[in-house]
Structure 1
Amino acid sequence: MWKQDRRSEIDRSNLPDPLSHRLRFEVEQTLHSLYAEADLADQIDSLYLPFANWLSSKLGNNEGPLILGLSGPQGCGKTTFANVVSRILIKGFELNAVVISLDDLYSSRQDRLKFAEQYSPLFKVRGVPGTHDVNLAISLFERAKQLKDGEVMKFPRFDKSLDDRKAVHLWQEVQGPIDVILFEGWCVGSPVMKQDLSAPINGLEQEKDADGVWRSKVNDLLADDYHTLFNMIDLMVWMQAPNYDVIYEWRNKQERLLEAHLYDIHGGVLDTLDLKVMSAEELKGFMQYYERLTRHLLSVMPERVDVLMRLDESQSVLEVKYPTEH
């Protein structure tokens, strides 16, 4: 009889946590909606739920939402991680959590073209500081901090395939009050580049920014407008890649997922529509716009953030370093 009871205790200890078991379906549905790998749901106990629990413990009595910055190289999984954690906070912790992507804060195509005419043609390509509507972002965060029960606001949505902001009626509607904002993006929280910018580091800079005007303007914006925006962040998370070279493979995988997503929507007529999906070679050129700042971030961010996630070449999280509690 004692052995039977003891065996039952051991069996119960191997059961999944009741909360993670209840949230498994929510996580799977979130991953499916993002065209992410389904087996990521297996990390609910080891990664997503512990992080959500840690984050929920940081909510105090401050007015307005806690703003979490989540940053990492292109294709590392920021968007997936942010959306899964948000869903867990909503369904498991009964918190009003909202995900805001830096990619949804791009300036309109028309405004980017105007900015490019003023400073450098390279600003026509979205991505680096100078291509986002920082004033809009700051006003959105300020409004979110004041959002009361029963009030609503809208956050912009950007369509990468169209290279322009979506119509306002397609923006994300959010009800107040907001508990947590997960602000994710490849250069969210970036400090200014202090190294010498004069020498080009790739073919793009050599051929199209020989005088350094573009990269210098990017750095000036990091020290000014973007610094103001990033100062609104309460806690910062960085997802560290093992090296720079692997980032191309991650980003190429992301682009192929976008292509598959568009084919799911538009089917055989995709080629007749003005939808932009980069080939592997086009992507190599495109990533040169990001290279200098990405290398800078890989170097400095691990020592500047509250939570550090180390990834391997397959994008799996090897380690999560939380801040030491006192």
Structure 2
Amino acid sequence: MVSGSSSQFPLHQVLLDWIAGQSIADRAFLAAQLLHDADRAAAFGITSANVVSHLEQQLHWLRSSYAAIDRFCRTTLGWTGCSIEWLWNVGLPIAMRLSHWRQLQEPCLIVGILGGQGTGKTTLSRILTEILAVMGLCVGRLSIDDLYKTYAERQQLQQADPRLRWRGPPGTHDVELGLSVLQQLRSVSPHQPVAIPRFDKSLWSGAGDRTDPEIVTKADIVLFEGWFVGVRPIDPAAFDSAPPPIVTETDRAFARDINDRLRDYLPLWQQLDRLVVLCPTDYRFSQQWRRQAEHQMIAAGRTGMTDAEIDEFVEYFWRSLHPELFIPPLLRDPRTDLVIELSIDHQPLRIYHPISH
């Protein structure tokens, strides 16, 4: 039996005891915890009127999903396990919100997940897929990377515009392919399967190319993630006083051209029913996260970039779509449904909806 206040019983212990089959005598403490942060509660649709029923649902899904999610984190992600507090405070509430949105958007809900390098957007998508599977929902996953033009097409693109020396910026994707795939996923069935494109970054000595597609016969929810999914063009005048590394007239010309190319992606963004934004409190965290990832690869005996190469790589993307210019508008845009602010150690500091914030 677990009872008492959070000062007597830390949240993680209360939740672990619940998973182990014990009851919770005093649910008021958990209900108060769900309502404590007004912005977060509003983002997840939790009110004083529905907090009791929401709590019961969340407790049910915690007990039902924890073992599977913990096993997934250990065996697939290589972690030491799943943080039960993260699952309670972030994973489950997001999954429950997606499930709610899905009920309002049949037959298929398409959710964009925007996050810069190292924010954890792909990992979040994978964990949400596992949680939603426990809830009985089939999830299709698509990355903006899966929509890259073929190797041959990108070679031609680089010859036409040498500034596009790396894949990634607007202009290096097959937007029509993405549009077709998302439209097909809205009505996918066993009788009309959809081929979701996949991209193998290891081909052509790291330049990457299309590989065999994944065949999908059902999708209740589609998670479409990428580093600029949902990002919209801004006023070109913003580049007149843009932040570094946009410092030269050549840099500004490149940034303006990439900004123009974003217009080609607007039909793709129109397919999004919801948008989730992962936002570091400092966009420069992505540089440090990339260094950590590369250092880990080198330590594991694989090929990785030097710090100088990482800086050049990251700054290239800042020149194309600078986070200080393109992300703040989304944090105020009512078309954004959920904002998750991240600390340097990937902890969610704030979760809110732009309108209720």
TM-score, shorter chain, exceeding 0.5 = yes
Match of 1:295 in 2: 324
Gaps of 5+ in 2: 5-12, 20-58
Counterparts of 2:75 and 2:295 in 1: how far apart (Å)? 16
Count of matched residue pairs: 299
2:262 pairs, out of 203, 217, 222, with 222
Q: Deviations over 1:215-255 (max 9, x none)?
A: 232111112x1111111111011111111222211122233
2:96 pairs, out of 29, 39, 53, with 53
The more displaced of 294-303 and 78-87 is 294-303
Gaps of 5+ in 1: 1-6, 264-269, 271-275
Q: Please say if 1:141 is aligned against 2:182.
A: yes
Please, what is the CA RMSD of the aligned residues?
Answer: 2.8
Task: Give the SS at the match of 1:184.
Answer: strand
Task: Give the SS at the match of 2:90.
Answer: helix
Percent identical: 25
The more displaced of 240-249 and 147-156 is 147-156
Q: Please say if 1:68 is aligned against 2:71.
A: no
TM-score (normalizing by structure 2): 0.74
2:310 pairs, out of 265, 277, 283, with 283
Q: Please say if 1:101 is aligned against 2:140.
A: no
Amino acid at match of 2:259: N
Counterparts of 1:308 and 1:61 in 2: how far apart (Å)? 20
Amino acid at match of 2:262: L
Pairwise CA distance, 1:23: 1.8
Q: Deviations over 1:141-178 (max 9, x none)?
A: 1111121244322212222233212432xx322112x1
Counterparts of 1:28 and 1:12 in 2: how far apart (Å)? 17
Counterparts of 2:147 and 2:339 in 1: how far apart (Å)? 25
The more displaced of 55-64 and 179-188 is 55-64
Pairwise CA distance, 1:307: 0.5
Counterparts of 1:259 and 1:19 in 2: how far apart (Å)? 39
Counterparts of 1:211 and 1:45 in 2: how far apart (Å)? 44
- Do the aligned partners of residues 154 and 126 (structure 1) sit closer, same or farther apart at CA in structure 2, a change above 3 Å counting? same
Match of 2:64 in 1: 22
Task: Give the SS at the match of 2:127.
Answer: helix
User: Is 2:146–2:198's contact at 8 Å kept on the other side of the alignment?
Assistant: yes
User: Is 1:113–1:123's contact at 8 Å kept on the other side of the alignment?
Assistant: no
- Do the aligned partners of residues 38 and 151 (structure 1) sit closer, same or farther apart at CA in structure 2, a change above 3 Å counting? farther
Q: Deviations over 1:41-69 (max 9, x none)?
A: 43211111111011101123645411101
Q: Please say if 1:183 is aligned against 2:227.
A: no
Counterparts of 1:89 and 1:219 in 2: how far apart (Å)? 35
Residues 1-326 of structure 1: pairs in structure 2 closer than 5 A:
7=1, 14-16=17-19, 17-32=59-74, 35=77, 37-42=79-84, 43-60=86-103, 62-90=105-133, 92-118=134-160, 120-161=161-202, 162-168=206-212, 171-176=213-218, 178-196=219-237, 197=239, 202=244, 206=248, 210=250, 212-223=252-263, 225-257=264-296, 263=301, 277-292=304-319, 293=321, 294-304=323-333, 305-322=336-353
Pairwise CA distance, 1:203: 5.8
Pairwise CA distance, 1:199: 6.3
Amino acid at match of 2:308: E
- Do the aligned partners of residues 248 and 36 (structure 1) sit closer, same or farther apart at CA in structure 2, a change above 3 Å counting? farther
Counterparts of 1:66 and 1:245 in 2: how far apart (Å)? 32
User: Is 1:311–1:319's contact at 8 Å kept on the other side of the alignment?
Assistant: yes
Counterparts of 1:33 and 1:157 in 2: how far apart (Å)? 23
